[in-house]
Structure 1
């Protein structure tokens, strides 16, 4: 019985997939920009908790059942659409209000964003956001259901352990990419980004989340 994982093909494919900007990566970038590297990285653990549950479900055979269920897929899908719409709209509104308050201040556009010196939101709240964005994305479950098995040998039996190994490896790869997004946001923060620039980035992040919500709403299995 051959259960050797095709690591040579898996690693670059997983790296490309994990590095592609998505809702969670954009959220990590925003957290790095607003709160710094450590809070953004710790918050990303919420995402990986959701991913770990998905990998366990796939290894147990539940992933295929959920992916095949139209009711389950649509329920998760519309929860994800609703949450992304709420989070994206909230981000855009906060950015627009910030821009409106900044008008007429003159020097504000050249000043370092002093709001960055405020204490960051609790790690729990940031991690909860990451968890909900990941858990309410049915494409993530299907990713693990369809993507991971491609790198198992044909005709392999007893694939639960190799699937868990692939899932753990993917989570590790995505963590490295998330660290990169968090580091980028933190770097922009440490460069003394102005209030206007931060609000523009917040607004773009919110618009991207709204776009992802629209894309998810039109997607079928």
Structure 2
């Protein structure tokens, strides 16, 4: 069944898709900048939990339920819109409230936040929950898996469930590598003494991405 997948074309396409900056990747960058790469990578497990559930749903054929049921689709859609608007506005307000353009100062003897060690801030559960909801709040993402993954099945593929699961696991692995890269980049920027102004800009961009995704979801038709 694994041989029914066109792996040589899948991995470049998956890497391009996963590396493209989006709401979740900007979250990983922001969390790496603020809390270090360990916290950022740990938080991304929330995203991968959502993706894993989507892949299982696609393999089980549950995407057809969302496609057929307008009520189920709209409930998920508007819950996602509300959460994304709330999270986006909160992130933008954080950028507006915290002024100053000087590099962050570290107290003597304290480890740098960019060194990957754990620091004070939101709990790992809260960061992971944000990643999970941002990933899961878009019902179109579930449909995206049904459009993107099947493209890499060979024409003579038999049952699609196992190859789709294999493709889903592989895509999550690629996404994890990209998330790690974004988190490490944020952590590196922090260790280089990035200014608060640049941090505010990143917060603003992340919040704008959330609001943009919310607006796109709100205008999408079933």
Quick check: TM above 0.5? yes
Query: 2:149·2:167 contact (CA, 8 Å) conserved in 1?
Result: yes
Pairwise CA distance, 1:2: 9.6
Residues of 2 paired with 1:53 and 1:70: CA distance? 21
Residues of 2 paired with 1:178 and 1:87: CA distance? 20
* Alignment coverage as a number of residue pairs: 213
Pairwise CA distance, 1:58: 1.0
Q: Structure 1 length as normaliser, TM-score?
A: 0.88
Pairwise CA distance, 1:159: 1.5
Measured against aligned partners, the alpha-carbon deviations of 1:53-79 in whole angstroms (never above 9, x if no partner) come to 111111111123223432222222222
Secondary structure (helix, strand or coil) at the match of 1:44 reads helix
Residues of 2 paired with 1:113 and 1:158: CA distance? 58
Is residue 28 of structure 2 the alignment partner of residue 6 of structure 1? no
Pairwise mapping of residues 46-65 of structure 1 onto structure 2 (< 5 A)? 46-65=46-65
Residues of 1 paired with 2:156 and 2:206: CA distance? 44
2:159 alignment counterpart: 158
1:143 alignment counterpart: 144
Residues of 1 paired with 2:105 and 2:203: CA distance? 13
Residues of 2 paired with 1:90 and 1:2: CA distance? 44
CA shift in 2, pair 1:67/1:24, >3 Å: farther
Measured against aligned partners, the alpha-carbon deviations of 1:113-156 in whole angstroms (never above 9, x if no partner) come to 55985513211110011111111111210111221112112253
2:69 alignment counterpart: 69
Pairwise CA distance, 1:14: 1.1
Q: Which piece of structure 1 moves more, 6-15 or 164-173?
A: 6-15
Q: Structure 2 length as normaliser, TM-score?
A: 0.88
Query: 1:2·1:156 contact (CA, 8 Å) conserved in 2?
Result: no
Residues of 2 paired with 1:16 and 1:163: CA distance? 19
Secondary structure (helix, strand or coil) at the match of 2:104 reads coil
Q: Which consecutive residues of structure 2, in runs of 5 or more, have no partner in the other structure?
A: 114-118
1:122 alignment counterpart: 123
Q: Which piece of structure 1 moves more, 65-74 or 190-199?
A: 65-74
